[in-house]
Amino acid sequence: MKKQHSIITFYILLFTINISGQYDSLYHNEIWRNYLVHLPANYDQNANIKYPLVLVLHGGFGNAYNIEEQSQFSSKSDTAKVPFIVVYPEGVKSPLNISTWNAGGCCGYAASSNVDDVGFISALLDTIEQKYLIDVNRIYASGMSNGGMMTYRLAAELNYRFAAVAPVASVMVNENKFEPNNAIPIIHFHSFLDNNVPIDGGLGDGFANYTYPPLDSILNIWANLNSCSIFDTVFNDNEKYLHETWTNCRDKNNIVLYVTYDGGHSWPGGTVPRIGGDQVSKQINATDLIWDFFQQHSRENTTKTNFSETLISEFELYQNYPNPFNPVTNIEYKIPYLKNRRYNSNSIRIIVYDILGNEVQTLVNETSEPQKYKIQFDASNLASGIYFYRLYFNNLTKTKVMTVIK
């Protein structure tokens, strides 16, 4: 009886772990990409509620589990007054099994191989929005080191999907290549003792061997884009950290900076990521401050009118009809026309996947002009079941679910 009780307890614990933390993958650009999902303690898939979503990106050499431990964002989601879902995506692994992000000019294998990490994150958001109860107006991104650099790239290239971002111990790289189209709120954390990504710019002492721009030059780019008119230093009693703000910005897209005099290349208030890693700041808790900042911002409170909003509103993948079907169904999609020519006559792909993420069939792979299209999909050779079809357009993706019944 005792042995049976132990087995039952084991399966209860296993079930509980799987409910709150789920390690999953999706297939993007012929690469399996992994991610960890943490659901808040009282998450109910059948509830009439939408949850905010926070993406947290690990640094170079990292993975989903160590950034979860380092940032303590999962613990925060369980105890916050407003519960939220946390997703920890993982970068692509090099032949040496080192995971990095293609943040533009840095770092490592992902950048040198020009991995489509922006497209992966967009596809990941599509997947998470399909599977969980997500408030699409309250999606946020944060990241540490190389993950923070990737967060800046998302702020520049995928900002129509995020309400705010929070880079940590990082800087935007190749800033001249990125031309952000939307203002976005930013809260940034750094340490004066960070020699890996020096706050004043220059060659870092990390594995990337990269020369970084000064942080203030990056924040000034965003302050100008956000139309901020007031810069201020907020003094604190103990003077253990620097707190600066850019306010009176368009659509309240304020920028906040915390720089500590202790710590180093680490997550303030978090855990030391590895043996030999820099100590963390004991003066502030970045995760608490990030979540407080995120709660102040939602995309439903913005009034952006530039071409990025036009792109996402006119770029569309429609639900197939009939659905369920046997064996033929219709799929329609719309490609927008914009004055910015780089979005006209571009490569379009529509790929069908099975429920495990295996590629089943490529329906479209061509250069398409801006207009509405209709194609037919014949599933005569497929078994009954649930399938996904995904439209790829530049860095954008949209995904729908269809059902074959025979």
Residue 16 has pLDDT above 70, yes or no: no
**313-404 has which CATH code?**
2.60.40.1930
Of all residues in the chain, the percent with pLDDT exceeding 90 is 59
User: What does the pLDDT read at residue 345?
Assistant: 47
Quote the tokens at residue 302.
């913005």
User: What does the pLDDT read at residue 311?
Assistant: 43
Encode pLDDT of 48-66 as tens digits. 899 999 999 999 999 999 9
Distance of CA 259 to the CA centre of its chain: 24
- Domains in the chain: boundaries: 23-301, 313-404
Tokens 């800087």 sit on residue: 171
- What's the angle, vertex CA 158, arms to CA 187 and CA 139, rounded to 5? 60
Tell me, yes or no, if the pTM score tops 0.85: no
Domain 23-301 has what CATH class? alpha beta
* Within this chain, domains 23-301 and 313-404 share the same CATH topology: no
Cβ atoms of 147 and 68 within 8 Å: the answer is no
Which residues make Cβ contacts (< 8 Å) with residue 367, sequence separation at least 6?
345, 346, 347, 348
122: nearest Cα among 395, 340, 404, 400: 395
DSSP H or E run through 238: none
**Which of the two residues, 398 and 153, has the higher pLDDT score?**
153
Residue 91 has pLDDT above 90, yes or no: yes
DSSP strands (E only) in 145-216: 164-168, 186-191, 202-203, 211-212
Which amino acid is it at 112?
A: S
Tokens 């589990």 sit on residue: 65
Which phi-psi region, left, alpha or beta, contains residue 18 (left: φ > 0; alpha: ψ -120 to 50)?
alpha
Helix (H, G, I), strand (E, B) or coil at 146: helix
238: nearest Cα among 279, 204, 281: 281
Tokens 């490609």 sit on residue: 335
* DSSP annotation of 242: E
